[in-house]
Structure 1
Amino acid sequence: MKVVFAHDHVFKESLDGNLYTAGSFNNEVWKRYLNHFDEIIVAARLDSKKVEAINKYNNFDLHQTSFLPIPSLSGPIAQFKNKSEAIEKIKKALIESDALIARLPSEIGNLSIGIAQEMGKPFAVEVVACVWDALWNYGKLQAKIYAPIAFNKMKRAIYNAPYAIYVTNDFLQERYPCSGKIENVSNVEIKDVMEASLEKRLESLNLPKEKYNIGMIGNLNNRIKGWDIALKAIGILNKKGIDFQFHILGDGNKEKWNDMARSLGVDDKLTFTGVLPSGEPVFNWLDKIDVYIQPSFQEGLPRAVIEAMSRGCPVVGSAAGGIPELIDNSCIHRVGDFEGLADSLLNIITNRNFAKEIAVKNHIESRRYQKNILDKKRNNFWNEFLNHINSN
């Protein structure tokens, strides 16, 4: 059984022609599908720039997986130039395959669904974020104009999908309902939530601190992560005399945010770690963070927040997407409210008992997202989809 997986994710290629991915798309993710399908064709974008520091990225090298580069469809100009080529490539892949899995929001996913419907191919959708929030908060007029078009396109695709799996418990289901079979399963990958992580965290919170380590994970080119909100908030902390270091983990161009930090007088407070492979390297990084922040304008159910929670780390986040489903309401600020973020940070930094209370709550909540629990729900969903394919 062969399946096409369609998404806008950008793959990396090394100088010797090997493929890599950043973020959460590691080989363990592809194995989730390979438990049910014999082969996966991944239809996604390919970065035109070759990479050298390959140890920072995840390998894409399972022999049951193959990569199909699709030209960018982001924006009207790219769609005008590249849509015909994209249709030809996707159609050929679907002819050779039994079904489609489209991860939304994505232009490649939307296009693939339309082609699958025309061909009568079974398809399922993975709903991981809200396209309206992403485009409306992107900052450009063109994105705001396109937001309602993309929203309605995604809403129709999900409503008409025979199978849909959501990463949130409620948020995305309410915004993008589906008339078919649905399930909610986070795409996070936490093998075990260790009690030792919480014990270590509580010991750390009992120690006197001269400097606090604030952490955030995300692509620096992605404004919707709320980098500007984070910098304005730490600017307030700096004016209040709090000694801290802001640690940033993620790929992308840091110059814009360095310039903004300089204008706020906190450029010496920033540490750019770059990219780390997922798993233990990220967990080790999180263990050195005193409070994790996620001031996003748009989210599904953020993987980094759950990973931080599993290490007993206090987390402060915006009200975007599924974040309020994860963390205590006292740690939530309105989207775009940098003053609210600063207040929440101060509350954790200056109130040790509160920080310990939040650490325990986060650790307990994260247990719901352990691999063995999520795998059972996910496997049941894909088994039903597999039966649906066979019946067709």
Structure 2
Amino acid sequence: MRLAFAHDHLFQEDEQGNLYTGGSFNNQAWKRYLNHFDEIIVLARKEKLDNKYNNKTYNNFDLKETKLEPVPSISGPIKQFSNKKEAEDIIRKTLIDSDALIARLPSETGNLAIRIAKKLNKPYAVEVVACVWDALWNHGSLMGKIYAPIAMHKMKKKVYESPYTLYVTNEFLQKRYPTKGKTTNVSNVEISSVFEKAYEIRNSRLEGKTIYKIGMIGSLKNRIKGWDVALNALSILKSNGIDFEFHILGDGEVEQWANLADKLGIRDKVKFCGVLPGGEPVLNWLDEMDLYIQPSFQEGLPRAVIEAMSRGCPVVGSNAGGIPELIDLNCIHKAGEYKDLAASIEKAISNKEYSMMLTKQNIEASKQYEKSELDKKRNEFWASFINEIDRLNKVK
């Protein structure tokens, strides 16, 4: 059985034609679907691998059962018109040759694929991984704010009409994007196992600590992750006499944020670490952090937060998306409120007893995201979807 998977994800291609992917779209993620489908055709964007990165910073996309069918970008008002016809033709051809569609939203590629699938009477399911309003409104551009209500209305309609809908949050996305179809909630983030020894290691490391390593992961391409909030908060810590290093892991141009750090007088404390492939390299990086922060303006259920929790990191984050479903509510600040973020960070790193309490809580809470636990719910949901596909095929 062949599955078409649609999303706006951007794949990287090197000079030899090899494909790579960042974020959560590694081979392990595709294997979740291959438990139920024989082949996956991914409808997504593609670009040449930037020379400043190399293939060691990304994950391979090379399973023999997976194939990328590149779709031109239809994000933004101009590309939605200039590239729409080409995108429609590619998606329609792929769906005709496929048995079903899974569309991950928010994404313009996913929206278009759903519309075409309905015309072709193809079975489809939707994965809801974030709020499109939050993403566009906080993007930083006027056009994003103008398009936000339109995009949210479009996504609400698509999700409500979806016969099968998988949410990555427990409550947040369900409330914003309700559906009349069959649902489940399963995080698209999974960890192989929780690092049980983290508590002991962190407890001993905090003895006599004078310089605290604070970590944050995310794309530097826009302000959605709250980079300006983080830097303003950390400038308060410096003025309060707290010594720290701010380690940033993510792709995108650093100049804008380096300039802001310089303006705030903390440039010497900010370390841009580039990109690492998902999995063990990122986990090892998190092991070196004394605190993880996620002051985002938009999130679904953030992978980095769950990974940080599984390594025993105390975590401070905003009230965006599903973050409050993950961490201690005393560690939550309203998105954009850098003074509150500063206060939360200072409390977490200046009080060892409190910090270790958060470590213990996070280790326990992250266990519900172990692969063995999530596979049960995920497999049950996709098995039900497969049964519906078989039923519809028999009707035809």
TM-score (norm 1): 0.98
* 2:324 maps to 1:321: no
Q: CA deviation at 1:49?
A: 4.9
1:281 alignment partner in structure 2:
281
CA RMSD of aligned residues (A): 0.9
* 2:248 maps to 1:216: no
Find the aligned partners of 1:34 and 1:326 in 2 and give their Cα distance: 28
1:179 alignment partner in structure 2:
180
Find the aligned partners of 2:274 and 2:50 in 1 and give their Cα distance: 17
* 2:238 maps to 1:238: yes
Is the Cα contact below 8 Å between 1:41 and 1:67 reproduced in 2? yes
* 2:266 maps to 1:263: no
Is the Cα contact below 8 Å between 2:195 and 2:312 reproduced in 1? no
The residue correspondences of 1:243-392 to structure 2 (distance < 5 A) are 243-392=243-392
Q: CA deviation at 1:50?
A: 4.5
* Residue aligned with 2:155, SS: helix
Gaps of 5+ in 2: none
* Residue aligned with 1:363, SS: helix
Is the Cα contact below 8 Å between 1:201 and 1:311 reproduced in 2? no
Is the Cα contact below 8 Å between 1:137 and 1:297 reproduced in 2? yes
The residue identity in structure 1 corresponding to 2:39 is E
User: 4+ residue runs of structure 1 moved beyond 6 angstroms?
Assistant: none
2:118 alignment partner in structure 1:
117
The residue identity in structure 2 corresponding to 1:113 is I
Find the aligned partners of 2:198 and 2:355 in 1 and give their Cα distance: 15
Q: CA deviation at 1:239?
A: 1.2
Q: CA deviation at 1:188?
A: 1.0
1:197 alignment partner in structure 2:
198
Find the aligned partners of 1:44 and 1:194 in 2 and give their Cα distance: 34
Q: CA deviation at 1:198?
A: 2.5
The residue identity in structure 2 corresponding to 1:200 is I
The residue identity in structure 2 corresponding to 1:333 is H
Q: CA deviation at 1:138?
A: 1.1
Q: CA deviation at 1:202?
A: 2.4
* Residue aligned with 2:83, SS: helix
* Residue aligned with 2:179, SS: coil
* Residue aligned with 1:97, SS: coil
* 2:24 maps to 1:24: yes
Find the aligned partners of 2:209 and 2:292 in 1 and give their Cα distance: 16
Find the aligned partners of 2:198 and 2:362 in 1 and give their Cα distance: 12
Per-residue CA shift, 1:177-233, capped at 9, x if unaligned?
11111000011120111311222222223x111200000000110310001101111
* Residue aligned with 1:169, SS: coil
Per-residue CA shift, 1:334-380, capped at 9, x if unaligned?
01001111000000111111101111111111011110000110000
Per-residue CA shift, 1:31-64, capped at 9, x if unaligned?
0000100000000011245455111100000000
Percent identity for Structure 1 against Structure 2: 62
Is the Cα contact below 8 Å between 1:212 and 1:244 reproduced in 2? yes
Find the aligned partners of 2:21 and 2:205 in 1 and give their Cα distance: 34
Find the aligned partners of 1:391 and 1:308 in 2 and give their Cα distance: 42
* 2:168 maps to 1:167: yes
Find the aligned partners of 1:56 and 1:97 in 2 and give their Cα distance: 32
Find the aligned partners of 1:5 and 1:48 in 2 and give their Cα distance: 21
The residue identity in structure 2 corresponding to 1:237 is L
The residue identity in structure 2 corresponding to 1:47 is E
Find the aligned partners of 1:48 and 1:16 in 2 and give their Cα distance: 11
Is the Cα contact below 8 Å between 1:129 and 1:300 reproduced in 2? yes
The residue identity in structure 2 corresponding to 1:62 is L
2:94 alignment partner in structure 1:
93
The residue identity in structure 1 corresponding to 2:333 is H
**For this pair of structures, how many residues does the alignment match?**
391
* Residue aligned with 1:225, SS: coil
The residue identity in structure 1 corresponding to 2:318 is S
Is the Cα contact below 8 Å between 1:168 and 1:185 reproduced in 2? yes
Find the aligned partners of 2:315 and 2:203 in 1 and give their Cα distance: 14
Find the aligned partners of 1:204 and 1:325 in 2 and give their Cα distance: 28
Is the Cα contact below 8 Å between 2:199 and 2:356 reproduced in 1? no
* Residue aligned with 2:346, SS: helix
Find the aligned partners of 1:308 and 1:13 in 2 and give their Cα distance: 29
Find the aligned partners of 2:198 and 2:343 in 1 and give their Cα distance: 26
Find the aligned partners of 2:380 and 2:204 in 1 and give their Cα distance: 40
* Residue aligned with 1:9, SS: strand
1:81 alignment partner in structure 2:
82
Find the aligned partners of 1:252 and 1:280 in 2 and give their Cα distance: 22
Per-residue CA shift, 1:94-113, capped at 9, x if unaligned?
00000000000000000000
Q: CA deviation at 1:17?
A: 1.1
TM-score (norm 2): 0.97
